[in-house]
A = this chain, B = another copy of it.
Amino acid sequence: MANKVGNVLIAQGGGPTAVINQSVVGAVLEARKYPQVGSIYGAIHGVRGIIEEDFVDLTQATTHNLERVAVTPSSALLSTRDKPDAEYCKKIFEVCKKYDIKYFFYNGGNDSADAIRIVNDNANEADYELRCVHIPKTIDNDLRVTDHCPGYGSAAKFVASAFAGANLDNRSLPGVYIGVVMGRNAGFLTAAAALAKKYEDDGPHLIYVPERAFDTEQFINDVDEAFKKYGRCIIAVSEGIVDSKGNPIITNLLGNSEKDAHGNVQLSGTGALGDALGKVIKDRLKIKRVRSDTFGYLQRSFLGCVSEVDQQEAREVGERAAQFAIWNDVDGSVAIRRTGDYSVDYVLTDLKNVAKETKSMPDNFINKAGNYVTANFIHYARPLIGKNMPDFERLQCPIVPKR
């Protein structure tokens, strides 16, 4: 066990998830058990709260409050889009020294993993004992090493529930329906739309992910075919779909777009992509009833749509982070390893294995035509949305002979 007497610092970065607080609460409750831990500080608004020394004392939060925060979606410690460079990380390290931080946990995606990696390097160079553990989260499910990311299961359940409902709605009043799902580079979340399908003719009928170049002509052909077959068509599209040159379809359609601090084009918080794709279908296929919905922020923070599997894993990942740092005295990023159908355990991987780069959907999750997912994906994703996904059923009764 690490015998470093000192304080704990924990922060949350990037886009929130429905279960992100489970991880913080898991880490905090676990850390509070160790006698060598003094205070547990939470930084407000991620790394920015660290350099501004904007801390709350989680040592003094009641267990009851923490448990209620755990079931609350979206970063309770608040978040930031700041992407720390070397200088920024240096400042973080200085604050850690100042507050006698010996254990630093950062709950975030690949950018957060990279930040904590640099802070860890600073500490090593300065010969300062600072255990740094990255606690993964992202609805995009695009972190490397881990089988899947805490936050994904709940967002996937939202997407599946949304498409299940949209399918029933569209069956009742037929037409073309496009649902635009978050996902800049990875199609995992969009692919979850397939989990909505129950009956043979249910939507989604087509799924487009950023891993395959989006070709408008092929798209029109696909929609035409599905519409002729089913008399309607439900389409799931990743906001990050790109053409064969790698240009985002949304940029092709919109021209100049807002960019964030990471140099990324704004994809969410606008209905432009869905509207533009709908227009193409209307114009080319002369289908009158074409509707698009952009799921936007609902898919990552809707109150009450959560996978119990995701909740439990997010909690355990946080708990494990504290154990790895304090009990095992090691740095790294906590990863989920699938050990059965369905069971997992938790391992620690080097921060550099998770930092910066992300992963995409493997080829065997996407069909040959590039317009749907495979059974391999369904098998992978189904357990992650949990067992409490609501079911739906059609009327089963005979047709009345015409008089």
Contacts and interface: CB of A to CB of B under 8 A. Distances in A.
Interface in A352-403: 389-400, 402-403
A340 interface: no
A15 interface: yes
A190 to B, nearest CB: 15
Interface stretch (A127-135, A204-212, A293-301, A311-319): A293-301
A161 B390 contact: no
A53 B402 contact: yes
Tallying the copies of this chain within the complex gives 2
Contacts of A16: 168-169, 172-173
Interface residues of A, number: 85
A270 B268 contact: no
Most B Cβ at <10 Å: residue of A99, A303, A392: A303
Contact of A390 (B162, B275, B303): B303
Contacts of A293: 269, 294-298
A90 interface: no
A65 B397 CA distance: 9
Contact of A65 (B80, B98, B292, B396): B396
Given A269-B290, A271-B274, A294-B294, A395 B300 contact: no
A166 interface: yes
Interface stretch (A67-75, A116-124, A145-153, A216-224): A67-75
A301 B166 CA distance: 6
A246 interface: no
A402 B400 CA distance: 77
A57 interface: yes
Contacts of A303: 160-162, 164-165, 168, 196, 389-390, 392
A264 interface: no
A177 interface: yes
A98 B272 contact: no
Nearest to A60: B397
A61 B400 CA distance: 12
A162 B303 CA distance: 6
A270 B269 contact: no
Given A58-B397, A293-B296, 6 more contacts: A56-B400, A57-B398, A62-B396, A65-B393, A72-B393, A165-B301
14 contacts: A12-B172, A42-B395, A56-B397, A57-B400, A60-B398, A62-B396, A68-B393, A72-B394, A73-B168, A99-B403, A162-B298, A165-B301, A169-B301, A292-B296
